[in-house]
Structure 1
């Protein structure tokens, strides 16, 4: 939302840029130039001589902008005369020296600005001093000074720093300074003429004639003097009126708090007719009540002679009570024998709006949390805000003269430039390298700001640091891949009952889906306390053959794998290069690009089976969330080991039970057969016993019948 609001404000400013010529400075986009313009303007307005004004401009620009040579030239008969000059390394002045100028250049510079690039092999113009020429200047700029439609002089600025873009970027500032000089010199000229007129009998001529009468001068002399005075008066008044009425600024004459004269421009500014003001209203009637004390005090100072001239601003109000901002310059004169104030007035309401826009721009620029930079048409940085400086790490003095390639790289910079040329804008995500070498991800928007002539004035680059967002997105993708790994491994575990296949699948899934450098699973060998690799995936390159890993207290058991198995806790090696615990395997690991590793024990209940080992090609690659997911993955694998072990035991129990059942059935069959045979034998014996009993009984019967008593009992009789 903040970015959209800021863009809307910038777009609104862009649309209004062409309304006022003063907004060329805004197009230059340099806050420091605004400050310099303000300082120069303030000094110019305090200065009352042309020589002083020119000196201020030359010395200030040559100093604060480090321009090789600045001069003020007068032009006549295809020649240039140096009126004043300045330069940071200038050992002597060239004042009063005259140089020639060719016809082609003369036609170019007549009443127009002129920017010239000095290409290799092109001779340096004669009017550029030899001392400056030895600095190998690359460009110069001529800006005409036109006062009241009179063009005879101009500013010259010669640049040797950087490339032509440095001076070209300063053109808006120079033009604004020149325009300020034009206005100030015209103001001084106008006020001077008005004062000259006021000192002639033109506006005070009638009073002078009356004085002659009162002095009883001889009649002939009086008449002659009066006629001459009246003639001069008419000429002076006509000259004054022509001058004042054609002026683009308001002109006034105040005496005893009342307007004695105003021109039509001043009346127009306040929405009155001239007749409504002259002799009827004074400054306080046109001044906002809150500012009246300031206006009255400044009038008093001039009338009472505390100061001859003064320039200041105040808020006025029109006939319709609309508040406007005005700037006045006035000086003390004597009018009809009494003190008065004469001067000029400018409506600066538009300028104030412009200044408010500049302030808005400056506030947005300075206080924006987004990084904003201004880049000249040649691609060189002009200015940056505090957020931009923090983002890329380059201070203002180092950044000037550099292109964005310094932190984006040449390819990205060229891609952006190509997009700006083809599409008129650029929006994308790029990688930026800070001065300290730290990498940052940036959401970058760039667009040109155009002049009224449809030329590129400068480019605006808005950057937002999205490093945290990109890292968060990367982390989400990273964790998502881990979750997918866990999901795939769980699917594998549910459909696979071969432990070797599970081990191979776990390593492949973890390596390919997550993208780890190397993954392996090792199981413990209890008899000699070694860790034996069971499966692997990724860039191994003989690593497991080159190293010995144990889970005892020897040096080979103090690495992450041995530690995880012994302690039952996850062991993370965040930097293989620096961690002393990895000494036994460091060389072999670094040769294969391993920079960090993690070993997660495979534990289910009270049983420890081994460890899942994961390697990354980046230091400190395992954060807390990743460790948690890898531990969950290892728990699943350990549980699978336990469940498959239980299943194997169950199958073994079933097999043993089946064998026992078969053996039992066999023995039952054998015993049954034996019982059958026995029964069969026993069945035959019973038959025979019954037959014997019958025979014995019959024999006993015969003996008894024969009267012979048996000598023995029946041996088959159970009762005997």
Structure 2
């Protein structure tokens, strides 16, 4: 019997209770079954005594209550979890009773609204304190009671109600209310959406700005022609802001400002260029500047005497890639014409205007570069037909100067085992004709890769050598001259300006020209060799011709002498015969033919 009891001492405690009380009812404990299983049982025992009041035995009954006990345990744990969930929930929650009184607030409620259970335990306290405005309270209460009755009838939660409630410190918050009936209590959840509502308003405002921006972007993307683009800009901003005049200032490379386009009274200044120091734009940094009354600003009045009609004024920078490309200004004859909201709206589209202007100016510059390249191609064609090497090299450097920034430069050509400066420009004294070792670290790098080498801050490079200049060269570009994959020399470009660097864009621009120049140099050299070989061949032909002429002359003289000799011998033989003498020898000329 003892083995039935799981918990030590259960049997002894049960017997002790029986001896004291004679009857034990609904005593619960764990016991072990014959098969080893463990169950919960509820027992009822009584003591049976004899006539002498001695205990004969104990009798009773056991009931298996395992399912009930386990269910109760689960319910207990579930309740604990529920209480923890409400207590630690990230949103305010409350538990209310059927009469409307509050039974519980979680920590988030107290933290969010400041009230404790003592402040709002009764229904009337709740209504009067969180809705202090009587009319608003009556409206909310009526709607809530109607929704509560509907939820109670259907056994479902209420539809979300959005209300403005007053915190304990008086601040008004916007809150979403939901309530779920749960037996004889109701669970109310409250979600503070104040910040979300503000964000929604900001989002709507931002969306309106995006719509405006999209309209502007669509219009701006319609053209890359700068003049047409400026007309589009003025037309679009007139739809967004109220003003009497608007002006677009463009910043030139030297820092001066040019009025590129304007409306209203500012039209008369179109095309005018002046230093920024003379204008009110000098006080603009990266944000919009608003003048409620421009006439009270001395910096504004200084730049033009005719500005006396302008009262309200707003100026904004046009910035792309941290570069100010210009300014956009708005004028009004009325003071305080522009607000911070106007500035926010303008700042939402000025980056797009700035980018469009930047693109248009870049397009214009590209077109100009293309024109330069066309000229370059024409020149390259001329180079390919010119075979005078000295004139050719001078022409190369001169034309490169018109295509890329060049303060000084030189062309080095391989000649046998040396590297000679064939031509230079901008170098004083000239290094033309100077000879350098064929192998130099700097040129070997170019020769090895057969690609251009950029040395910005060249003086800091240990391999850099100044070709006749001490400290003037700040940045250096070396370009290989390749003809039929043969390295025939190098083109070097120098920048003496610390702010003017060389980049891959410069390499891309000069590389095709260098290739054509190398071909032209190769052709000129080939022509020189052909002329030289031709002259040598002509000399050799002349010498051979003279040798042949001498031989011909010798042969012709011998035939003449033989004829004269024959004639003389014939006369002598005739004379001998006439003298009665017979020649002793046969006639050697007997068979002259």
TM-score above 0.5, yes or no: no
Give the TM-score, by structure 2 length.
0.42
